[in-house]
Amino acid sequence: MFRIFAFVLTCLGGLNWLMIGALQYDFIAGIFGTQANVFSRIIYFIIGIASIYILIVTIFSKGKLKLLGYKKKKDKKKDEVEEF
């Protein structure tokens, strides 16, 4: 569940940087007033920590980021013994 939350925060942070680059508008600073506001800095910090977490999880899982913990179903054909 934490991976999904971190992934969403990282995506929102990326969209914020897209808006800064394309439109010269900082969405987080627009909500809280300025970039120097305490709440803006807390949000930037949380998004940064989420991005680092996603990066570390992706590196340790060899490039595969699993957001949901679904298990693979075993193939019944491989488990069955063929009779001749």
pLDDT digits (tens, 9 = 90+) for 25-68: 998 899 888 888 899 999 999 999 999 988 888 888 887 777 77
Residue 45 resides in a domain = yes
Angle at 43 between CA 6 and CA 20, to 5 degrees: 95
The three-state secondary structure class of 46 is helix
Is 82 inside a domain boundary?
A: no
State the total domains in the chain.
1
Q: Which domain holds residue 33?
A: 2-60
Query: Quick one: pLDDT at residue 47?
Result: 93
Whether the model pTM is above 0.85:
no
Across the range 3-20, mean pLDDT stands at: 91
Query: Which pLDDT value is given to residue 45?
Result: 94
Give a yes or no: residue 30 inside a domain: yes
- Are residues 6 and 53 in contact, defined by beta-carbon separation less than 8 angstroms? yes
Contact assessment for residue 30 and residue 23, using Cβ atoms and an 8 Å cutoff: no
Residue 26 lies in a domain: yes
Reduced to 3 states, what is the DSSP secondary structure of residue 36?
Answer: coil
